[in-house]
Each structure stands twice: as C-alpha cells, then as structure tokens.
Chains A and B, each alone.
Chain A
Amino acid sequence: MFPLSSTMELTQAVSLGLAVLIGIGFGFFLEKAGFGSARKLVAVFYFYDMAVVKVMFTAIVTAMIGLFVLSSAGALDMAELYVEPTNYPAAILGGIVFGAGFVIGGYCPGTSLTAAATGRLDGVAFLAGIFVASYAYAEFLSGFDTWLASSALPDQTLPVLTGIPMGWFVLLFVGFLALAGWGMSLAERRFAGLRP
C-alpha cells in the first residue's frame, strides 16, 4: 500500500503538488518550533535552550515509530523506501564541516529558508551561502564527489546490518529520548545564565 510512489501512478503535477503540501507542513512546524530564529537555534550549543535536540529527536522517534508500526502491520514496504548510500568518511568529514558552518552561520539549510521566509536578512545571507557552495562544489569538487559516490554502500540500515529487529532500535531510541529529555532539562537550568 505505502509508499504511494511505488503503488500508484502519480502524475508529475500531483507529485509536485504533494511536495508543496509536505513542504508547507515542514516549514510550518519548523517555524512553530522557533527555528526561524538563529538565536533560538544556536542556543543549543550553549546549553541554555536545548529545543533543537528536543525537536529533532522527537521528530526522528515519531517517524521511526510510524515506519515500524506501518511496516509491521503490512501497510508499508520498507524495502521500497530510499536509503541514502552510506559513506562513513564523507559522513564524518561533511558532518564536521557542516557543524562548524551551523554555529558560524546560525542556521542549517532548511531553517535558513524558514528564517528568510519570515523576514530575517541573515537567513537570506545564509541561503546565498548555500547556493554559492552548491555551485562551487559542482565546479571544483566533482571528481571528489564521483569518488565519494563510487565508494558509498547502498541500503545500509542498522536492522539489516545487525540482524536485530527494528522494534528493539525503536525501544532504544524512545528510552534514549526520555533519558536525554531529563538530562536536557537539567542542563538548561544549569546554563540559564548564558542566555543573552
């Protein structure tokens, strides 16, 4: 039954219309979470407002539970879902560079669009930076990119790699979220004085 992309013939217009609808939801919740504000986002790196981790983890766990329940019920074929090919050195190197850019720029790509769409000029500047980077990457690092792609492994997920059923990972993540939620509330109180 799900995903619809493999069980139904969606016309291009319908598919792109659905993309807009999903996007509206994406932007709506990012803005409601406060992620159109760079100050709210970077607060996580000074521990006085951990909203970024809370929102991300809750979103991950929510979607994970949904995927697990629907596939267990036979309504979703997990094998039909796209899994980004895995390349550990690229994930580590890209992650380190990205993390530095996050602190310096104050946003990540999705949230900079939310910021720009609510009038934040620094969000516009960050978006311009991503565009410059995307163009420059293609121009100067295409060879590197080809090498990265050729050494990436397709369809890697922890249940497939370890043979441990997905449900155990779901339980682990739910437990970790609860524990982290408690830890974060302590951290926020401890570092409240850093709030500018």
Chain B
Amino acid sequence: MNTISVSSNAPRAVTKAAPSPFWNPYLAGFGLGLVLLAAYLIAGRGLGATGAFSSVAAWIANAISPEHAQATAVHARYLQSGPPWTAWLVYLLIGSAIGSAASGYAAGRWSISIERGPRVTDGQRLAFALVGGIIAGVGAKIARGCTSGQALTGASILNPGSLVFMVSVFAAAYAVAWTYRKEWL
C-alpha cells in the first residue's frame, strides 16, 4: 500500500480522498441477510456463487463437442437447465458484479490493485490466488455449494449438511492458516 502524504493546504484535485471505512459488520450482515431472505421469498431458493461457473463450463464443453458434453454427467446436468444466458445463477452473479462495482466506486475503493500481505510479491500472490481458487472450486463442487450456496443459504434454513460444511470449512482454514501466514501477515 502506498502512503499518500497530504499537505496541510486545501487538498488539490490530484490528491486522492481516503476510501470510506467499511460498514459495521453486524449492519452489513443484516443487509446481506435481508438479501438472502428476499432470494428465498422470490425465487424459492437462496443464493449461490459457484453454479454459474459450471453452467458456463458446460456450455463451452457443448460448443466444443456436444457428444462429449452429453456423455459427461456434470456437464449434462447443467446443460439440462439451459444455456448460461437463461441461467438464474448467472444473472445473480452479473448483478453481484454491478452491486460490488457501484459500492466500491462510490466508497473510493475501486482501484486496479493486488491484495496481499507485506511479505510476498505481487506475482506470488497472483499464483496463490489462482491455486487457491482451483482448490476452493473443487471443494465447492464436492460439497455442492460454497459459502453462499451452502453456508449462508443452508444454515439459514437449518440444513444439517450445510452446518457440517460450514464447521469443516472453518476447521480446515484455521488448521492451515498458520502454515500460510507468510502470505498474509
């Protein structure tokens, strides 16, 4: 992070305003809970962030070879519910990108940057992010859902499998966190 020194004079146009602080977590969580409730009340199901990726993957596989895609159970399952441009979960993510970008921009947090701890390089961090994304993606596929589709959505309706998933996620994350402390601390 660059430190921006601000002179005691009136800020000039080039001086970047400090980003707004994040919201109180309980307030943000309340808002997120209302969105989750709205998803249940409107669509009859909660949120989900990983399904959209499988929908796009199935569509690409089908474009390359329809026979192969139909013979592959997971691709075939997602193809059954139509192409990505008619998939509910894809539109949910499009909306999420819009909402995130608008909120980030308004708060002065929109910037091309890389989030990392002080002891790793940008290149190392990008490699960790890609590998972590692959690992988390496989985990979400095995568990049939991620923090959105299983943890939030399932826990709020008291699905025991979702509660077990959530406990497993945090147990594993705390178990490996110390090993990866150099990436973050």
Which A residues fall within an 8 A CB radius of B?
Answer: 2-6, 12, 15-34, 36-40, 42-43, 45-46, 50-51, 54-64, 66-67, 70, 76, 78, 80-88, 90-123, 125-139, 141-146, 148, 152, 156-159, 161, 166, 169, 181, 194, 196
Could you say which of A25, A51, A138, A196 contacts B22, with CB atoms under 8 Å apart? Answer: A51
Residues of A within 8 A of B58 (CB): 138
In Å, the complex CA distance between A100 and B88 comes to: 28
In Å, the complex CA distance between A126 and B96 comes to: 16
Interface centre among A43, A98, A132, A144 (most CB of B within 10 A): A98
Residues 43 to 76 of chain B near chain A (Cβ within 8 Å): 43-47, 49-50, 53-54, 56-58, 60-61, 72-75
A-B contact count (CB 8 A): 525
Residues of A within 8 A of B44 (CB): 3-6, 80-82
Tell whether, in the assembled complex, residue B138 and residue A137 are in contact, meaning their CB atoms are under 8 Å apart: yes
Tell whether, in the assembled complex, residue A110 and residue B147 are in contact, meaning their CB atoms are under 8 Å apart: yes
Tell whether, in the assembled complex, residue B129 and residue A146 are in contact, meaning their CB atoms are under 8 Å apart: no
Would you give the shortest CB distance from B175 to chain A, in whole angstroms? 8
In Å, the complex CA distance between A8 and B13 comes to: 52
| A62-B33, A120-B113, A125-B126 known; A110-B47 Cβ under 8 A | yes
Tell whether, in the assembled complex, residue A26 and residue B157 are in contact, meaning their CB atoms are under 8 Å apart: no
Interface centre among B141, B177, B181 (most CB of A within 10 A): B141
Residues of B within 8 A of A95 (CB): 139, 143, 164-169, 171-172
Could you say which of A24, A85, A90, A104 contacts B142, with CB atoms under 8 Å apart? Answer: A90
Would you give the shortest CB distance from A162 to chain B, in whole angstroms? 9
Chain A interface helix/strand/loop/mixed: helix
* 10 A–B pairs (Cβ distance < 8 Å), ordered by A: A46-B184, A59-B36, A83-B159, A86-B160, A94-B144, A98-B143, A106-B184, A130-B134, A130-B140, A138-B54
Could you say which of A67, A84, A106, A196 contacts B118, with CB atoms under 8 Å apart? Answer: A196
Would you give the shortest CB distance from B45 to chain A, in whole angstroms? 4
Would you give the shortest CB distance from B93 to chain A, in whole angstroms? 6
In Å, the complex CA distance between A59 and B116 comes to: 27
Tell whether, in the assembled complex, residue B172 and residue A100 are in contact, meaning their CB atoms are under 8 Å apart: yes
Would you give the shortest CB distance from A31 to chain B, in whole angstroms? 4
Task: Kindly state whether residue B17 has any CB partner on chain A within 8 Å.
Answer: no
Tell whether, in the assembled complex, residue B35 and residue A25 are in contact, meaning their CB atoms are under 8 Å apart: yes
10 shortest interchain CB distances as A-B pairs: A105-B132, A129-B133, A23-B95, A62-B33, A94-B143, A133-B137, A95-B168, A58-B29, A101-B136, A98-B139
Residues of B within 8 A of A67 (CB): 37, 40, 156-157
